[in-house]
Structure 1
Amino acid sequence: MPLLEHLMELRRRLIWSIVTFVIAFAICYHFSGAIYRFLAAPLGEIMRQKGEQPHLIYTALYEAFFTYIRVAVFGATFLSFPMIAIQAWIFIAPGLYRSEKRAFAPFLIATPVLFLVGAALAYYVVFPFAWSFFLSFQTSDSGGMGIELQAKVSEYLTLVTKMILAFGICFELPVILTLLVKVGIVNTAQLRKFRRYAVVCAFAVAAVIAPPDAITMLSLAIPLVGLYEVSILTARWVEPRRIDDED
């Protein structure tokens, strides 16, 4: 295509993506209360186990409203991602050879799957342990100064979405490393040589992203180390074969 037609095609794909996101945002905002209750369910379950009435507070008049807006944006991002990815593929695919399309297809499938696995690990495994640990610092001393959790809706949403996105993105490590090996930027020998540094980087990333407690950091660092080893194995399958000059 000429450059102008490429720009018109890009505009069409952007319009489809934006319209999809707006529709998904409207749907998610309608169900924003239910989505937030789903995100808050792990904390509510821990509170019930401790004999407390589950509750969250907000201290500004507009805080709950903007929290629901952020919930809708978060949900719309998840709902509209398949359509956005499809539009990106429709725009890029005509410029690829058939062999290149076959090579990229597994990565396109693995990307959302691994992201969902990481998000599910954070929600179903990490959250219950982390919230139970944090709630263990409450005290109910009738004769002294008790300590009680009064979690704000906005702060809780920020923590939950940050951890879900962090776990989901970190679980894309096999896709990224395998793709780098596929295109020849790195090789498996370099990945094996970098293994000890990768372990240190995994714990450093977990310390920065996760809350400052050992349970949450280990819950992210250990899977990262395991994913790095998986990346080496998958990279061996797609690594280009080197042909000697004599051959």
Structure 2
Amino acid sequence: MAIEPKTRQKKAPKDRDGRMSLGAHLVEFRKRMFRALLAIAVGGVLGWLISDQILVALSTPVSAITDSQGRAASLNFTDVSQAFDLRLQIAITVGIVVSSPIWLYQLWAFLVPGLTRKEKQYAVGFVLTSVPLFLAGCAAGWYVLPHMVSLLTGFAPQGTTSLISAGDYYSFVLKLVVAIGVAFVLPVLLVLLNFAGILSSKAILKSWRIAILVIILFCAIATPSADVFSMFLLALPMIFLFYSAALIAWIHDRRVAKRQQKFDSELVVP
């Protein structure tokens, strides 16, 4: 019996101009989406395995209320399926965070055919810098979480008991951690806008007073503790990232100005 030779996998068909048809785009999108979802699923399995440790870590700020405020506090599961639902939410969240480099790359790879060479470089740089900064911001959000829990539960009258819904508490933690993570990525967005020619370094530096004021207010809300050290511990890296973005934008503007000056000088007729 003759064995047929293996055929090489063909790439998505393109027309004479190198453009993909609608059907080819849908096939490419399905392939990228499948890989991204597979990576999230694998990360979700890891999240499910460590969900016990995450639940213990989540309940630690609530348990500390008893020592700091002298009253009982606990996480409560208000219905039969809420414990399972919470573990599933934790697994999905961990899966998305852990697999972020993979699904961000798949998203970028799908958009590559529609980008110029320079725009591809900007996209790659954005992904490579935004992922670690986002994770660092999430870590900072986790650091300020106990201060937020202590402040907000401290408004309850003395002698009362804090019965906190586990589902609502997890949503609160997720929003806080993600908000600070996104705040750490915003300087990268400023650099991207500068490289794209939308925002100049002068415009970034001109708004430094407003930027620092917003950062201080944000950190004051996120770290409502008695010591100011926690607030500045969160504000300093954000201010550093803002000025780093302004510096990178300034260097880029100088290079663009030099190239433009050289180009204009070559156009001058002797």
Residue matched to 2:35? 16
Amino acid across the alignment from 2:256: R
Residue matched to 1:63? 82
Alpha-carbon distance between aligned partners in 2 of 1:47 and 1:75, rounded to the nearest angstrom: 29
Alpha-carbon distance between aligned partners in 2 of 1:201 and 1:137, rounded to the nearest angstrom: 25
Over 3 Å counting, the alpha-carbon distance change for 1:33 and 1:137 in structure 2 is: same
Residue matched to 1:142? none
47, 54, 60: which is aligned to 1:41? 60
1:225 Cα deviation after fit:
4.4
Alpha-carbon distance between aligned partners in 1 of 2:61 and 2:252, rounded to the nearest angstrom: 40
Alpha-carbon distance between aligned partners in 1 of 2:30 and 2:167, rounded to the nearest angstrom: 35
Over 3 Å counting, the alpha-carbon distance change for 1:246 and 1:12 in structure 2 is: closer
122, 140, 144: which is aligned to 1:121? 140
1:10 Cα deviation after fit:
1.9
244, 249, 253: which is aligned to 1:230? 244
Over 3 Å counting, the alpha-carbon distance change for 1:201 and 1:29 in structure 2 is: same
- In our comparison, the structure showing a higher alpha carbon Rg is 2
1:82 corresponds to 2:96: no
Alpha-carbon distance between aligned partners in 2 of 1:222 and 1:47, rounded to the nearest angstrom: 31
Q: Percent identity?
A: 26
1:189 corresponds to 2:177: no
1:44 Cα deviation after fit:
3.9
Secondary structure at the counterpart of residue 83 of structure 2: helix
1:22 Cα deviation after fit:
2.8
Unaligned residue ranges in structure 2 (runs of 5+): 1-13, 15-19, 266-270
CA shift digits 1:142-201 (9 cap, x unpaired): xxx712322221122111111110111110011100000011001011112223333454
Secondary structure at the counterpart of residue 150 of structure 1: strand
Alpha-carbon distance between aligned partners in 1 of 2:122 and 2:154, rounded to the nearest angstrom: 50
Residue matched to 2:3? none
256, 265, 270: which is aligned to 1:241? 256
Asked whether the 8 Å contact 2:215–2:238 carries over to 1, the reply is: yes
Asked whether the 8 Å contact 2:130–2:188 carries over to 1, the reply is: yes
Alpha-carbon distance between aligned partners in 1 of 2:116 and 2:223, rounded to the nearest angstrom: 47
Alpha-carbon distance between aligned partners in 2 of 1:7 and 1:123, rounded to the nearest angstrom: 39
Alpha-carbon distance between aligned partners in 1 of 2:38 and 2:188, rounded to the nearest angstrom: 29
Asked whether the 8 Å contact 1:32–1:71 carries over to 2, the reply is: yes
Secondary structure at the counterpart of residue 203 of structure 2: helix
Residue matched to 2:179? 166
Residue matched to 1:112? 131
115, 124, 148: which is aligned to 2:161? 148
Amino acid across the alignment from 1:238: H
Amino acid across the alignment from 1:36: L
RMSD after superposition: 3.5
Unaligned residue ranges in structure 1 (runs of 5+): 140-144
1:119 Cα deviation after fit:
0.9
Alpha-carbon distance between aligned partners in 2 of 1:84 and 1:218, rounded to the nearest angstrom: 33
More displaced 10-residue stretch of structure 1: 92-101 or 55-64: 92-101
Alpha-carbon distance between aligned partners in 2 of 1:246 and 1:73, rounded to the nearest angstrom: 55
Asked whether the 8 Å contact 1:188–1:232 carries over to 2, the reply is: yes
- TM-score of the superposition, structure 2-length normalised? 0.71
- TM-score of the superposition, structure 1-length normalised? 0.77
Secondary structure at the counterpart of residue 171 of structure 1: helix
